[in-house]
Amino acid sequence: MRIAGSVGQDGQTAFVDLTLGTKGCRETLRIPGQGSLVIIAIGNTMWSKTEGQMWKQMAGMFPAKVRRYLAGKYLQIPDVPGGMTDLCGRDQAASSFGGELKNLVTAKITTISGQPALQLADKRHSRSAYVTISARPEFLRLDVSGQEQVDFTGYNQPVTLTPPPAYDTVTEAQLEALARQAAG
């Protein structure tokens, strides 16, 4: 499944693109003027890379020699507790968008991406969930006051996740060795 759209982030609009597979996920979060964060999780291993202002804020945690080596690369983190199950579960992903959806009522029938959809909205129509009109309804879109909108596509499509290449990756062991070298 793929979830993509705009979400509210600290008073700003952020753009998210999340692909969920049975063995992991890939997420890109981009905040205009701030940079981006990419996370790839496969099994119990995760890779993360920040760029732009996000990198500059995080870089202060590392000595200069380490920053030069890590800049623009993925940090590989093996043996993530809970692994991709915590990070990439469909329920976790769906619940992180649009806040709580409570007391929804049927609002109207519309079309989203060529599919007939039923809009379920709260009383003020500030939060809406759009679902397919089928025996097994699936989310098509969540919309919060027109400020956040994410679309759900590619249900049950095969997903291929590939770790970043070794030349673009820094392992925890390499990072620790660099930190020791920089300190002493």
Range of the domain at 91: 2-183
pLDDT for 72 beyond 70: yes
Q: In what order do the strands lie in the sheet with 169-171?
A: 105-112, 115-121, 127-132, 139-144, 148-153, 2-9, 12-20, 24-31, 35-42, 45-51, 74-77, 169-171
The enclosing domain of 63 has a CATH number of 2.50.20
Q: Tens digits of per-residue pLDDT, 90-129? A: 666 656 654 566 778 888 899 998 999 999 888 777 788 8
Q: Which residues contact 18 (CB under 8 A, 6 or more apart)?
A: 2, 3, 4, 25, 26, 27, 28, 93
The pLDDT of residue 90 is 62
Which alpha helices (DSSP H) does 90-157 contain, by range? 90-95
When divided into structural domains, the chain yields a total of 1
Q: Which residues contact 61 (CB under 8 A, 6 or more apart)?
A: none
Q: Tens digits of per-residue pLDDT, 138-154? A: 989 988 876 788 899 98
Please state the pTM of the whole predicted model: 0.82
Least confident of 4-8, 26-30, 90-94, 148-152: 90-94
